[in-house]
């Protein structure tokens, strides 16, 4: 089974998504809506096209890719820049620059953000409330 990458980008108050090398795009207010809308767009595309693009022929699994700026903006109601700074070790001001698109993070900085989020996720998963 092949992976089909869906690129998700921040679009003001909404998210937009598209599949590279396929004539498909959608919008939604959150990631769940993006997933539903993209699946519906693919279904409609496959119904209307007897010869679909190579990418969507056969079995595939959708994988969603979100860039750092989109992540920082989309989850800003969950994570403050100060909180992200504490879990990632990246200066809060630098995180603001990434979110605003003033600077694009180097791969090392992106890894720090991913690792910080994964570490927090593991910590939260280990908690049992009583």
Q: Both tokens of residue 9? A: 């980008």
Domain assignments of the chain as residue spans, ordered by start: 2-66, 68-125
Confidence of residue 77 (pLDDT cuts 50, 70, 90): confident
User: Is it the case that residue 7 has pLDDT exceeding 90?
Assistant: yes
pTM, two decimal places: 0.77
Average pLDDT over residues 77-95: 93
| CATH number of 2-66, picked from 3.40.50.970, 3.40.120.10, 1.10.1510.10, 3.30.2390.10 | 3.30.2390.10
Strand partners, 8: 17, 66
Confidence of residue 50 (pLDDT cuts 50, 70, 90): confident
């Amino acid at each position: 089974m092949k992976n089909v990458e869906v690129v998700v980008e921040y679009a003001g108050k909404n998210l937009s998504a598209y599949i590279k090398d396929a004539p498909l795009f959608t919008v939604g207010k959150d990631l769940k809506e993006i997933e539903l809308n993209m699946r519906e767009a693919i279904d409609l595309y496959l119904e209307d096209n007897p010869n679909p693009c190579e990418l969507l022929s056969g079995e595939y699994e959708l994988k969603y890719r979100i860039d750092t700026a989109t992540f920082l903006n989309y989850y800003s109601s969950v994570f403050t820049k100060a909180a992200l700074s504490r879990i990632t070790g990246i200066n809060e001001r630098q995180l603001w620059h990434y979110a605003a698109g003033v600077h694009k993070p180097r791969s090392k900085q992106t890894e720090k953000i991913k690792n910080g989020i994964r570490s927090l996720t593991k910590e939260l998963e280990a908690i049992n409330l009583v």
